[in-house]
């Protein structure tokens, strides 16, 4: 797969493992339990996509589909002010940066479909450098419960997102919540911190959880999967699926300045 570029995450080890960051042109999935930091990660990425290039950003706009009303521009500005004080202390810059992030809040599958239609136009009109969907799992539960026998109602959306990534060459980042695997050592310890490991024994296990919610079609549409979880009280981000990186895990923390390694 030919990749048109990367959005650096600012997490050094992770960026190295991903050969520069979140790749353009494909879907990257952030998976993990409630409260682990998926939304915090998306806020940081949104900032990095919108920052001026001289500060390591992509100088672009962001479309943020906020399915659970968890986007917070206040928190975004806090992360920005702490991480990039030289920009955020300039008059009007915090507002300008926040203004580059267009937040859409669909409340039903029909509205989500509409949001995706809207994206087609936004991509033509704006210099979009990142599309975030936080979260996709929200669509698979609640209003849209569907048993194994029924057709996945998200099939069209998944194909659409994949084609948006490919045609517009932007990174698409999607979060999904999974239950924590607190009593399952196989799931938790297959990844070695900062070291190479060949087999990905826990990936099928993860798949079976998410396939139940979003279907195998989704699982195949994702090019990079990053799993966030806590091990012995410490937060880790793991490269669980990637066409070019080994299975690596990096410890991270969340502070007032956002996600950091």
Interface residues with Mg ion (CB under 5 A)? 38-39, 70
H or E stretch covering 161: helix 155-168
Choose which of 61, 115, 168, 177 interacts with ligand ATP (CB under 6 A): 177
261, HSE (Cβ side, Cα atoms, 13 Å): 14
Answer yes or no: are the C-beta atoms of 68 and 135 closer than 8 Å.
yes
Q: Hey, which residues does 54 pair with through a beta bridge?
A: none
d(CA 222, CA 203) in angstroms, rounded, equals 13
If one counts every other C-beta atom within 10 angstroms of the C-beta of residue 163, the result is: 10
Query: Rounded CA gap, 235 and 254, in Å?
Result: 9
* CB-CB neighbours of 88 under 10 Å: 19
Comparison of 36 and 200: residue with beta carbon closer to ligand ATP: 36
Q: Does 38 bind ligand ATP (CB under 6 A)?
A: yes
**Residue 34 interacting with ligand ATP (CB under 6 A):** yes
32 lines the binding site for ligand ATP (CB under 6 A): yes
Q: How far is the CB of 30 from ligand ATP (least distance, A)?
A: 8
Residue 37 near ligand ATP by CB under 6 A: yes
Interface with ligand ATP includes 188 (CB under 6 A)? no
Residue number, 42 or 93, with CB nearest to Mg ion: 42
Name which position in 28, 40, 50, 83 contacts ligand ATP (CB under 6 A).
Answer: 40
61 or 177, CB closer to ligand ATP? 177
Which SS3 state, helix, strand or coil, does residue 128 take? strand
Name the binder of 254 from Mg ion, ligand ATP, none, CB < 5-8 A by kind.
ligand ATP
Measured CA angle at 79 (ends 63, 70), to 5 deg: 50
Strand-pairing partners, residue 6, are: 23
Q: Pick what 36 binds: Mg ion, ligand ATP, none; C-beta below 5 to 8 Å, kind-dependent.
A: ligand ATP
Stretch binding ligand ATP (CB under 6 A), from 48-56, 166-174, 190-198, 251-259: 251-259
Residues that bind ligand ATP (CB under 6 A): 32, 34-40, 70, 177, 254-256
């Amino acid at each position: 797969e030919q990749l048109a570029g990367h959005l650096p995450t600012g997490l050094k080890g992770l960026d190295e493992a991903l050969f520069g960051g979140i790749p353009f042109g494909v879907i990257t999935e952030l998976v993990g339990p409630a409260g682990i930091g998926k939304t915090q990660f998306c806020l940081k990425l949104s900032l990095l996509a919108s920052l001026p290039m001289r500060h390591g950003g992509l100088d672009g706009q962001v479309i943020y589909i906020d399915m659970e009303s968890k986007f917070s521009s206040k928190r975004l500005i806090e992360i920005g002010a702490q991480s990039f004080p030289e920009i955020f202390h300039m008059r009007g810059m915090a507002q300008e940066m926040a203004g580059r992030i267009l937040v859409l809040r669909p409340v039903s599958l029909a509205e989500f479909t509409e949001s995706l239609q809207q994206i087609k136009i936004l991509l033509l009109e704006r210099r979009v450098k990142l599309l975030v969907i936080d979260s996709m799992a929200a669509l698979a539960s609640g209003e849209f419960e569907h048993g194994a026998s029924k057709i996945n109602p998200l099939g069209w959306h998944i194909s659409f997102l994949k084609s948006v990534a490919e045609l517009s060459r932007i990174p698409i980042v999607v979060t999904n919540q999974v239950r924590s695997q607190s009593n399952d050592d196989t799931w938790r310890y297959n990844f070695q911190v900062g070291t190479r490991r060949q087999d990905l024994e826990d990936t099928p296990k993860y798949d079976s959880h998410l396939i139940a919610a979003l279907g195998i079609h989704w699982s195949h549409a994702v090019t990079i999967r990053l799993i966030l979880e806590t091990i012995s009280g410490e937060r880790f981000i793991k490269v669980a699926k990637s066409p070019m990186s080994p299975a690596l895990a990096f410890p991270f923390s969340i502070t007032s300045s956002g996600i950091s390694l």
